[in-house]
Amino acid sequence: MKNLKTNIYFKVTTITFIGLLLLIPTFMIENLISEREWTQNDAIREVSAKWGEEQTISGPFISIPYHRYVKQFSQKDSIEKIVQLKEYLHVLPTQLTISGQINPEKRHRGIYEIVVYNSKLDISGTFNQFDLKALDIQPENILFDKAEFVVGINDLRGIEKQVNLNWDKEKLSFNPGVPSNDITGSGINASLAIDPNADKIYNFDFSLDLKGSQKLYFTPVGKVTDIDLSSEWPNPSFNGAFLPDNREVSEEGFNANWNVLHLNRNYPQIWASSRHSIEHSAFGIDLLLPVDNYQKSYRSIRYAILFIGFTFLVFFFIEVLNKIFIHPIQYILVGVSLIVFYTLLLAISEHLKFNLAFIISAVATLSLIAGYVKAILKSTKLTMLISGVLAVLYSFIFVIIQLQDYALLIGSIGVFIILGIVMYFSRKIDWYNLNLEAEE
């Protein structure tokens, strides 16, 4: 037993095995982080399902039914016949203007916060005379008296008030549903009667009080689309196909303006059937809470192997240079303490800000390990050494987490410096004649 106690190869093998064994609870904590994140997303989905989902306003546009005739050959009786099909023309507005106010609210589900909003949108614009010459459709096959004014809305439960359309000095009421799924699968519509021979500009406007959760997006269906939004929310995220041309963000809220031309997107002002899709051109606002504790916890645990490996390496050098024997059980207890840090970090960050949770968890872990090392080594100097090494490691990881864009650069430099320090302190050790012997 004494030979095993002082055998350097047995010691290195044991330390390596313990380090690898501690990766098992590390992976379990990674799964726990993912599970807690899924729980948060479930809470968001539950509240959104009752309040209103993420909203995207697709349109407005006009859908006009028409008849298309195709030849169909019947193999059963060898007869070719003409079949009438009903399809839709889709006409986009020449000018589209949207202005609105978004009023966010915070709702709670357990320990989680979810952002929902009420919005009041004023939507107006114009349709010029329809140019149907390029579509190769006979005018007598187009049912202009069956035209419908369509506004695509993801979740109709978010509509708070009756929506009325002012169309060419006429007031019309909207009905639920869309005439076809060519452009959008959910929305509202109003029946129109269009005179194809009238050389005129059709003006429209309506107000929409819409509830939703987290996101509010729009599609630039106008030949010129101008959108102006404001809110008291101080942390907006502008996403989608287009960023605002002008924006002002402060602690009091934000104002943002988009101006998009038809040349900026990949579909025309008029087409038939489902030849084009507008969903990829959507853009707007994300009202997500600035909570990224799960992502940061996941990134920090990626460095667990560095913590364990470097801490064990310091203990090993203490044994080699000071002839102090440290039992494998003591390695295990210190390693478990390092792993418990991530559990503390995850649990505390769900209730406090991540940076504060990191500091509390690091101080608690450092205090625990420092007290244990002081008890087993009986040396203030070595205890300060271990504590200093861990403090540097925690500070290093904390900096990497904050500087996400430079994490690879800072991490590479840090690992290089650590390797240099290890090589420096081990330069004079005669590894071939090394033997561990505990002092009396």
Closest to 267 (Cα-Cα) out of 220, 235, 234: 220
Question: What pLDDT is stored for residue 12 in this prediction?
Answer: 79
Q: Is the peptide bond before 60 cis (omega within 30 degrees of 0)?
A: yes
> Residues 44, 49, 52, 54: is their CA dihedral positive or negative?
positive
Residues in the chain: 440
Q: What is the mean pLDDT of the chain?
A: 83
pLDDT in tens, 47-82: 777 788 889 999 899 998 888 777 776 666 666 677
What is the DSSP secondary-structure string of 351-386? TS-HHHHHHHHHHHHHHHHHHHHHHHH--HHHHHHH
Enter the pTM of the model.
0.74
Question: What pLDDT is stored for residue 226 in this prediction?
Answer: 95
**114: three-class secondary structure by DSSP:** strand
Phi and psi at residue 235, in whole multiples of 5°? -125, 65
Closest to 277 (Cα-Cα) out of 285, 266, 288, 286: 266
Q: Regarding beta strands 79-91 and 55-74, do their DSSP bridges make them parallel or antiparallel, or are they unpaired?
A: antiparallel
| Residuewise pLDDT in 10s, the chain (440 residues) | 456 556 677 777 888 888 888 888 888 888 888 888 888 878 777 877 778 888 999 989 999 888 877 777 666 666 667 777 788 889 999 999 999 999 988 877 777 778 889 999 999 999 887 777 767 777 778 888 888 999 999 989 889 889 899 988 889 999 999 988 888 889 999 998 787 776 778 899 999 999 988 889 999 999 999 999 999 888 888 998 899 999 998 888 899 999 999 899 999 888 888 888 888 999 999 887 766 778 888 888 888 888 888 888 888 877 777 777 778 888 888 889 889 998 998 888 888 888 898 899 999 999 998 888 888 888 888 888 888 888 888 888 888 877 766 777 877 887 788 778 778 777 766 666 665 554 43
Question: What pLDDT is stored for residue 75 in this prediction?
Answer: 63
φ/ψ region of 273 (left if φ > 0, alpha if ψ in -120 to 50, else beta) reads left
Torsion of CA 373, 377, 381, 384, to 10 degrees: -10
Q: Are 231 and 73 in contact (CB under 8 A)?
A: no
Amino acid making up residue 363: V
Question: What pLDDT is stored for residue 32 in this prediction?
Answer: 87
> Residues 311, 312, 313, 319: is their CA dihedral positive or negative?
positive
CA distance linking residue 440 with residue 323, whole number of Å: 10
CA distance linking residue 367 with residue 373, whole number of Å: 10
339 Cα distance to chain centroid: 28
CA distance linking residue 126 with residue 94, whole number of Å: 6
Question: What pLDDT is stored for residue 439 in this prediction?
Answer: 44
CA distance linking residue 207 with residue 100, whole number of Å: 9
Closest to 229 (Cα-Cα) out of 195, 255, 248: 255
Q: Regarding beta strands 246-250 and 175-176, do their DSSP bridges make them parallel or antiparallel, or are they unpaired?
A: unpaired
- What separation in angstroms does the CA of 342 have from each of 301, 303, 304, 339, 364? 7, 11, 9, 6, 11
